[in-house]
Amino acid sequence: MADDDVFLVADGSLISHLQDYHLMEQMMLAINNVRWAYHQSMVWAKNTYYGIQILKCPMDMWQMQEIINEYKPDFIVETGTWYGASALFYAHIFDNIGKGQVITVDNEPKDVPQHPRIHYIVKHCLHPDVLSEIKERVNGSTVMVNLDSDHRKDHVLKEMSLYAPLVTNGMHFIIDDTILNHPSQMKDKNGNLIAPGPYEAVEEFMKDNNEFEYDRTAEKQMITFNVKGYLKRVRGN
């Protein structure tokens, strides 16, 4: 079993209770097969939140609300607005905890919902003006970042280098859809495989990085599209 496939749940209790290595390996294979089958089914692409299409794994949404409730950031910065369902989801969680704002960026958003806690930036997420505006808005606040736009490796790496400095100490830096090619596959609108993708971008970003650590406990729901995609700032900022 490859090290990349080691699956830690909470403090590792689920796996540590499996003393039989062969049984553990079989379990990991089964989990990966279920992830692959669920992702390839595209059932998740038909999910809605308040009637709005949301292209996220429901178990990752559950995990996000746990993270937001526990860490209570002042801001969530999101790239990849799409129809705005995830931004609305985050805004409703902020309503519940009584604080928080969402900044969501997309150069081609759809018909998005309006909410007083959501600020939309309609520009390409790599545009320098976008980063300037975000920095001005979040100045001195606690910030969590969720990247979910273009999933090609080169793009994700650029996003990570630009948006990582926004993440404040103790907060999460979440890169969506690392499941692409690990093990699931997805094609773009032209029929080309998206490879390499977010997973490879995260691995390269983390090679020489000592400011972030993998938070594998955030994968405890097991059915996740963000394998090794939950990072947490432990130094700097």
pLDDT given at position 4: 47
Task: Residue 98: give its domain's CATH number.
Answer: 3.40.50.150
Number of domains in the chain: 1
Q: Can you give the pLDDT at residue 12?
A: 43
Mean pLDDT of 139-156: 96
Q: Mean pLDDT over residues 16-34, rounded? A: 70
Paired tokens of 159: 């996003």
- Residue that wins the pLDDT comparison between 122 and 10: 122
* 98-to-64, 65, 91 alpha-carbon distances in Å: 17, 14, 10
Average pLDDT over residues 144-171: 96
Q: Which residues of 211-230 are buried (b: 16+ CB within 10 A; e: fewer)?
A: bbeebbebbbeebbbbbbbb
Q: Is the per-residue pLDDT at 2 higher than 60?
A: no
* Percent with pLDDT over 70 in the chain: 86
Tokens of 208: 């020489």
pLDDT of residue 189: 64
Name the residue range of residue 183's domain: 3-233
Residue 126 has pLDDT above 90, yes or no: yes
Q: What would the pLDDT profile of 35-53 be if each residue is shown by its tens digit?
A: 888 988 999 999 999 999 9
Residue 18 pLDDT greater than 80, yes or no? no
Confidence category of residue 186, pLDDT binned at 50, 70, 90:
low
pLDDT at 27 over 70: yes
Sheet of 212-214, strand order: 118-121, 101-105, 75-79, 143-147, 172-175, 230-233, 212-214
pTM value > 0.85 = yes
What is the overall mean pLDDT for the chain?
88
CB atoms within 10 A of CB 47: 15
Report the share of the chain in percent with pLDDT over 90: 70
The HSE-up count of residue 123 (CA atoms within 13 Å, CB side) is 13
